[in-house]
Structure 1
Amino acid sequence: MTEPIVDVATLEPGIVQVRMQDRANKNTFTEELIAGLTAAFAGIRERADCKVVILTGYDHYFSSGGTQAGLRDLFEGRYQFSDKDLYSLALNCPVPVVAAMGGHGIGGGFVLGMFADVIVLGRESVYTANFMKYGFTPGMGSTLILPNKLGFALAEEMMLTAATYRGEELQRRGVPFAVVPRDAVAGHALELARTLAEKPRVSLMTLKDHLVAPLRAELARHVGQELAMHAVTFHQREVRERIDTVFGQ
């Protein structure tokens, strides 16, 4: 039997795991993955038994971000990234979300995890906000969430250079969340989730709502600014050439 691209499972009372496992596409943002994640978080909103969500990937991949076809569609103006609001799923989830990012987080896939409330990275895995690798400016709320979670200096460097960083390097650079061996990420995330699940659900929801309120209030403005930058930067011939020749490298 074929496993679902997005699997939702109750690990323990109060703890729900959402696992992205599109091995064929390395958890890029295919229509199926986007639909699966959207449905998973919509279902969680209706579950009174859920206190915390663990968002994770499979093996060596958390998420690889946009597909090549999707980037070409953005270049052609067929849609905007905001048409598929994947980036705010964790932010708008009513209960805390732990991103167990043991695998690689690339581009929008890295940003997806940064919108979680608690983050765990793998020392051996690679992480990058590589939008500028293709010549267009960052999207998906990157310009809001990356400075907020990583600090302005590191976030600015990541976005401008589109460089790739191992988790151990980010740990040396002082990222303010756990970086552990890749094979320890799942266990570490589960222990964090257990600590959260000990608390009353209403209290967790109330505190999260208060803590992320500034991000929620600012997100639409930053997305609007990112879309305006895309209108300037995305439709250059060089961008299409880079999407065609550099993707996946």
Structure 2
Amino acid sequence: MSPFLMQERDGAILKVTLNDPDTRNALTDTEQFEELVALSNELRTDYSVKVVILTGAGASFCAGGNIKDMASRSGIFGGSPYELRESYRNGIQRIPTALYNLDVPIIAAINGHAIGAGLDLTCMCDIRIASQKAKFAESFVKLGIVPGDGGAWLLPRVIGMPKASIMALTGDMIDAEKALEWGLVTEVVPEVELQQTAYDLAQRIASNPAHSLRLTKRLLREGQHMRLDSLLEMSAAYQSIAHHTEDHSEAVSAFLQKRKPAYNNK
């Protein structure tokens, strides 16, 4: 099987493409799960990567689970109820913990359909930009199943519980403009402009020091479930670390000297 993830590096920006257009980039194989988890583990210690762009090859971003495999009860959908439970726990459920907890900022460039687990995958990212052709659905209920990959936790945190309830309980599809209206995406652009728009945003993010990007993303993540006083304590600790980095000193010097900073990730 060819690698599911196609990687392209441009300086501090890593573009990752889900690369199985024949299945609309369906998430259905253990090898795919392993690739996503392995990439997350690599990025944890590679401070030369400041931002990731995640997109899909072909006409879709990600179609979620492969329905043909569901029908034949094969692959990850095979076995007894106990075996299926373990298949989810040790398979696709490793992706949300790996990606959501990754300190490197991730931009989802949603080029087409993001359905089921594909929609949930976008919610594991920090920022979502959509093509005008993008479509979204939390469609599990239409197949008589439930969000098995964390969607019931992820989606309400992105668009709020009322709208997440509509999507999850109807399974209906929404278009890019509705996704923008509901706050699921921050921007909708013509298909031909999607990758460049995502790249331009990635460049703006990558112009900042790696340590402050990672620490800031961690604070944003922790702030979603911590009390304010606990987050303030964590912020004070992170700030004391940031103040003693070389990149902080360089940022201050560059600001005062009205020049472009030169960071060294230290």
Fold match by TM threshold 0.5: yes
Paired residue type of 2:60: Y
The Cα shift of 1:74 comes to 6.4
Partner of 2:43: 44
Give 1:207's aligned residue: 216
* Distance in 1 separating the partners of 2:125 and 2:147: 18
2:193 — aligned with what?
A: 184
- Residues 124 and 168, structure 1, Cα contact 8 Å, conserved in 2: no
- In 2, distance between residues paired with 1:103 and 1:167? 9
Shift of the alpha carbon at 1:176?
A: 5.3
In the TM superposition, 1:1-249 aligns within 5 A as 4-10=3-9, 12-29=10-27, 30-68=29-67, 69=69, 72=73, 73=77, 76-77=80-81, 78-80=83-85, 81-84=88-91, 85-175=94-184, 177-215=186-224
Q: Secondary structure, in 3 states, of the residue corresponding to 1:139?
A: coil
Letter in 1 for 2:213: L
Alpha-carbon distance between aligned partners in 2 of 1:92 and 1:216, rounded to the nearest angstrom: 13
CA RMSD, aligned part only?
A: 2.2
Structure 2 gaps, min length 5: 227-266
> Residues 216 and 64 (structure 1 numbering): CA distance in 2 closer, same or farther, change over 3 Å?
farther
Q: Deviations for 1:25-66, whole angstroms, at most 9, x for unmatched residues?
A: 221112232222222222222312111111111121111111
Q: State how far apart, in whole Å, the 2-side matches of 1:175 and 1:115 are.
A: 12
Task: Kindly provide the amino acid, as one letter, of the partner of residue 25 in structure 2.
Answer: N
Rate the CA distance shift 1:158–1:79 in 2: closer, same or farther, 3 A. Answer: same
**Unaligned 5+ runs, structure 1:** 218-249
Rounded Cα–Cα distance in structure 2 between residues aligned with 1:114 and 1:60: 20
Q: Match of 2:237?
A: none
* Greater RCO (Cα-Cα under 8 Å, separation 6 or more): 1
Q: Report the count of equivalent residues.
A: 215
Is the contact made by 1:104 and 1:125 (CA closer than 8 Å) also made in structure 2? yes
Shift of 1:105: 0.4
Give the drift of 1:215.
4.9
Deviates most, 45-54 or 135-144: 135-144
Offset of 1:150 from its aligned partner?
Answer: 1.3
Larger radius of gyration: 2
CA shift for structure 1 position 146: 0.7
Q: TM-score, normalised by structure 1?
A: 0.79
Q: Please say if residues 135 and 175 of structure 2, whose CA atoms lie closer than 8 Å, have aligned partners that are also in contact.
A: yes
**How many Å apart are 1:214 and its aligned residue?**
4.5
Is the CA contact (8 Å cut-off) linking 1:14 and 1:50 kept in structure 2? yes
Structure 2 residue identity aligned to 1:44: L
Q: CA–CA distance in 1 between the matches of 2:205 and 2:183?
A: 24
Provide the C-alpha distance between the structure 1 equivalents of 2:134 and 2:6, rounded to a whole number of angstroms: 22
TM-score, normalised to structure 2's length?
Answer: 0.74
Q: 1:75 to 1:130 in 2, by over 3 A?
A: farther
Contact in 2 for aligned 1:8/1:40 (Cα 8 Å): no
